[in-house]
Structure 1
Amino acid sequence: MAANYAVERKIAELAVRRASILTNKTFHSLVKGTVSKEDKSPVTIGDFGAQSAVIGAVLHAFPGDAVVGEEDADVLRQDENTRTLVWDLVKGAVEESAALNGEIGTIQTAEEMMDLIDRGNSEGGPKGRIWALDPIDGTKGFLRGGQYAVCLALMVDGEVVVGAMGCPNLPVDPANPDGERGVLFSTAKGAGAIQKPLNSSLDVEGTPIAMNKVTDLSQASFCESVEAGHSSHGQQAAIAKALGITKDSVRMDSQAKYGSIARGDGDIYLRLPTSKSYQEKIWDHAAGKLLVEEAGGVVTDSVGKTLDFSIGRTLRDNKGVVAAEKDVHQQVLDAVMAELSKASL
């Protein structure tokens, strides 16, 4: 009998909601406190604050679990001004979240906040309970005013079993893009996938979501990354043409793409490798992968291999991502492999 991860799913929802309160405040601020990491990717005060907020909630409930997080607190320990900005955010988010959701772990001091950020230092692996966290997935989208997501997933012995994703800028009703924004997605292995408004009360169970049943691939639509450095737009256009797809692709930052196709806004998500050396990070795909699968999809890499979350902080044995509704995934994958084989000739 499959394990029931209802408690873990609820904690994941609460943790993501707490961090989404924090990131949404930063999103509407003129001061995002941007710094650059060694790989030149941006990180904001929202990233630091969200990581501490989520890890604080997770470890309050499950103190023996490990966390693979994207950030560390080195910058905050060296820069008092940035540390103060982040601490002010975290205090406010914890208080507001407690008022809405009940207490899910307090954070008493800036030092405790930084220690929590650094608890995201797990190397992952094939054994035990390990959470994968991206405090702001799609930081460039966050900075430009686009889509971003707070993403959290639980892996048990290398298998993703719970996922939650907060998308503060995604419309609650895709048919009303100018209406209420802020969506919380959640899922557990074998339990389906749901969405609910981010600001909904705790007793709201959410609405089940499912991928579109695609009967004619020429009528399908693609989701892809905004950043060309993240995925090959040219190859994806060629694949769309090979499949007879004529609709313009929808470009969106973050794992919001997984949520978007899981609820039927789009049908296919491709993230094709832009270099032979690049390794996808587990926190960029864990929650979204399970969400799509529980909504009726299949997620593999660009040669049809299952994404392997058991070997560390990256998906080093996989190249690219192909996500589509289960009945057409193989057809999409065939087109992907045909296009990639041309590039290797």
Structure 2
Amino acid sequence: MSAPYAGELTLALRIVHAASLLTKSVLRSLRNNVEAETKADDSPVTIADFAAQALIISALHAVYPSDIFLGEESAAQLRENDGLADRVWALVQQARSQFSDVQHVRLEKGSTTAEPALSFPASKDEMLDIIDLGTNDRTAEGRVWVMDPVDGTATFMTGNQYAVCLSLLVDGVQQVGVIGCPNLAFDTQSPIGQTRVHEDSVDESGHGVVLSAVNGQGTHVRSMHADGLGEARRVEHQQSTKPLSNLNFIEATIGKTSLSQPEHRAVAESLGTKWPGTVIWSQQMKYVALTLGATDVMLRLPKGKDRYTQVWDHAGGQLLFQEAGGMIKDIDGGDIDFSRGRLIEGTRNFGMIAAMPGAFNKVHRVVKEVLERRTR
């Protein structure tokens, strides 16, 4: 008898692998100088974002036609800009040609398992409709695939770290998470916690790694190759005896955030450690760094309860860290609620704290102390 969600995991790994190769081919063809369009919220989006979302939803919809999809992108800009749509369609056709034959995903050392070809849109119009299947906004009931085809578009454009993200929510709960890191130079055989993650630690010649988790079944990391995936290795953290003063806090690019970074710094310095320890722009790459033991603490302390964050920035990545033994709670100690649609709102989950159990309570206590000073 197969483990729960075995089929979903196998397909998700295959899709994220293909989307990772697709996005990295864009980087290599344009020599890490990717142009971006600007969305209505002023955030950047590239042809790789659109094409990867089309690939992901098309392949999933062919196998699970009754499932719901929630993605970051919509086809609105493509419908208004035929030239841009043509460029995205050309990229999808390129991927279709690359993955049209039976591929092989190496699941165990010394063996291969043949997998059927992925499904792709048959026309440009069908591609636009498929991208728009991801514009749903409900996650509380049923099976919902949440995706961010390129998390960290700004650093993707410069050839630094980014993530290809896919997660399955069932009745608002994370069940499967798969995150491809096409630019991450990480030796999957090295001890967990021994390798740092940096924006410029780029896998120039290879295809990076992919991490996956299923609820209750642990987290695994695999190398990605042009023809498939390497052997799965379970991510296991040793019981930490690290002093609080040695904790490594991960942060986004300094100053470019609506979070309260001065309070992030105050927490770190109250624990006697330097801030920041690691700087990574992509939110999902922060979860990858935590999962791989490359950093120890992530804080998201908003300036007020009107602040929100998007579900695709956290679904899947949180499951990776939790299945590797990590803890993630909001500032009040509650679990993060993925059942409220596209947004994780500050009124329901105020902020986030992520750390391994040995450090979590101490970090949480200092966070509360620092925030109490805000209200005095």
Question: TM-score with structure 1 length normalisation?
Answer: 0.93
Of 265, 284, 290, which residue of structure 1 is paired with 2:313?
A: 284
- Give the Cα–Cα distance (whole angstroms) in 2 for the partners of residues 307 and 86 of structure 1: 34
Of 210, 224, 232, which residue of structure 1 is paired with 2:260?
A: 232
Q: CA deviation at 1:332?
A: 1.3
Q: CA deviation at 1:221?
A: 0.7
For residues 148-167 of structure 1, the aligned pairs below 5 Å read 148-167=162-181
Residue 217 of structure 1: aligned partner: 244
Indicate conservation of the 8 Å contact 1:225/1:271, yes or no: no
Residue 75 of structure 2: aligned partner: 73
Cα RMSD over matched residues? 2.3
Gap runs ≥5 in structure 1: none
Q: CA deviation at 1:77?
A: 1.0
For residues 1-345 of structure 1, the aligned pairs below 5 Å read 4-28=4-28, 29=30, 32-99=34-101, 100-101=103-104, 102-173=116-187, 174=195, 177=201, 180=206, 182-199=208-225, 202=228, 204-211=230-237, 213-215=239-241, 216-226=243-253, 228-246=256-274, 248-254=276-282, 255-316=284-345, 317-345=348-376
- Give the Cα–Cα distance (whole angstroms) in 1 for the partners of residues 238 and 94 of structure 2: 39
| Compared CA separation, residues 279 and 10, structure 1 to 2 (3 A) | same
- Give the Cα–Cα distance (whole angstroms) in 2 for the partners of residues 46 and 210 of structure 1: 33
Gap runs ≥5 in structure 2: 105-115, 188-194
- Give the Cα–Cα distance (whole angstroms) in 1 for the partners of residues 230 and 321 of structure 2: 21
Q: CA deviation at 1:203?
A: 6.6
Aligned residues: 345
Letter in 2 for 1:231: L
Q: Secondary structure at the match of 1:135?
A: strand
- Give the Cα–Cα distance (whole angstroms) in 1 for the partners of residues 85 and 271 of structure 2: 50
Q: Deviations over 1:284-335 (max 9, x none)?
A: 0011100000000011123321100011111111122211112221211111
Q: Deviations over 1:146-168 (max 9, x none)?
A: 21111110000110000000111
Indicate conservation of the 8 Å contact 1:34/1:42, yes or no: yes
Question: TM-score with structure 2 length normalisation?
Answer: 0.86
Q: Deviations over 1:214-270 (max 9, x none)?
A: 322222211122263153332211111111223742010221111111111111122
- Give the Cα–Cα distance (whole angstroms) in 1 for the partners of residues 251 and 229 of structure 2: 34
- Give the Cα–Cα distance (whole angstroms) in 2 for the partners of residues 326 and 311 of structure 1: 27
- Give the Cα–Cα distance (whole angstroms) in 2 for the partners of residues 92 and 333 of structure 1: 48
- Give the Cα–Cα distance (whole angstroms) in 2 for the partners of residues 323 and 270 of structure 1: 7
Indicate conservation of the 8 Å contact 2:21/2:207, yes or no: no
Q: Deviations over 1:98-147 (max 9, x none)?
A: 44454121221111111110000211232100011111111111123321
Letter in 2 for 1:328: A
Q: Secondary structure at the match of 2:208?
A: strand
Q: Which runs of 4+ in 1 moved over 4 A?
A: 175-181, 200-203
- Give the Cα–Cα distance (whole angstroms) in 1 for the partners of residues 90 and 239 of structure 2: 46
Deviates more, 1:319-328 or 1:244-253: 244-253
- Give the Cα–Cα distance (whole angstroms) in 1 for the partners of residues 224 and 332 of structure 2: 36
Q: CA deviation at 1:201?
A: 5.2
Indicate conservation of the 8 Å contact 2:215/2:319, yes or no: yes
Deviates more, 1:335-344 or 1:70-79: 335-344
Letter in 1 for 2:217: A
| Compared CA separation, residues 342 and 47, structure 1 to 2 (3 A) | same
| Compared CA separation, residues 139 and 58, structure 1 to 2 (3 A) | same
